[in-house]
Amino acid sequence: MIGKRLFWADAMKAGSILSVVLYHTNIMAEIKTTAYILCLPAFFFLSGVFSNTTYSIGDFFRKKTLRLLVPYVFFGVIGWLLWVVVGRKYGGDANTNQVWYFPLLGMLKGNVHDLVQNPPLWFLCCMMVLEWFYYGIRSLRSGILRCILYIGLGAVGCYGGIQGWPNGWSVLSAMIMLPVYALGGECSSWIQQESHTQTNTRLLIVLL
């Protein structure tokens, strides 16, 4: 630890951010794929480590869901206005045949392919759905049943993605990332305890 911060967590976050940046640059496809494979699981794992399932349903909605829903709506609407005024006339979407309200419908669907005004918003949808999945399953007492549900939903998400099932509100994406997120959440107490007893470098190597 450095003060109250966890060095290994900061290192994993930095690596995830770097991977995202690399993925959105014009580099070799192999490097982009590797960056994508590395950055998302690391980020969702960390999110699981620092998740909190002790909230009541009302508090969970206010402190978790609204925290993601408000920026989703705000940036979605702002992006839509810019798209209507500028995006449909210049750049990659110049002379598009999409009607002016298409991005608004895209916001209701929450699918990356329909969020033409701001595709990265899919991530907020994914986190909202994922946190509800985990919140519900984590309340079950049986650890074996929880693991079965985590892995089962992850498998269904992967199968649906391969088969091209609809991915409204990024539900399939959330299901795919659920096992990784849950791994961090289920091991959260041990990981944070070990952060106080193990060296940062050793713990980072174990987690990787």
The 10s digit of each residue's pLDDT in 59-86 is 999 988 999 999 999 999 999 999 888 8
**pLDDT tens per residue across span 4-17:** 566 777 777 777 77
Let me know: does 66 contact 202? Beta carbons within 8 Å.
Answer: no
pLDDT at position 199:
53
More confidently predicted of 26 and 49 = 49
Helical spans, DSSP H, in the chain? 7-23, 29-49, 57-60, 66-82, 102-109, 122-138, 143-163, 171-186, 188-197, 200-207
- Cα distance between the two ends of the chain: 17
CA distance 130 to 102: 26
What SS3 class is residue 2? strand
**pLDDT tens per residue across span 167-178:** 889 999 999 999
Sequence-separated (6 or more) residues with CB below 8 Å from residue 28: none
pLDDT at position 41:
84
| Structure token pair of residue 23 | 């993925």
pLDDT at position 188:
79
| Residue 190 burial (CB count, 10 A) | 10
Sequence-separated (6 or more) residues with CB below 8 Å from residue 44: 130, 177, 180, 181, 184
Q: Is the pLDDT of residue 2 over 50?
A: no
Q: Which of 19-33, 78-92, 101-115, 160-174 has the highest mean pLDDT?
A: 160-174
What global pTM score does this model have?
A: 0.81
The upper half-sphere exposure of residue 144, i.e. CA atoms within 13 Å in the direction of its Cβ, equals 0
Q: Is the pLDDT of residue 94 over 70?
A: yes
Q: Is the pLDDT of residue 154 over 90?
A: yes
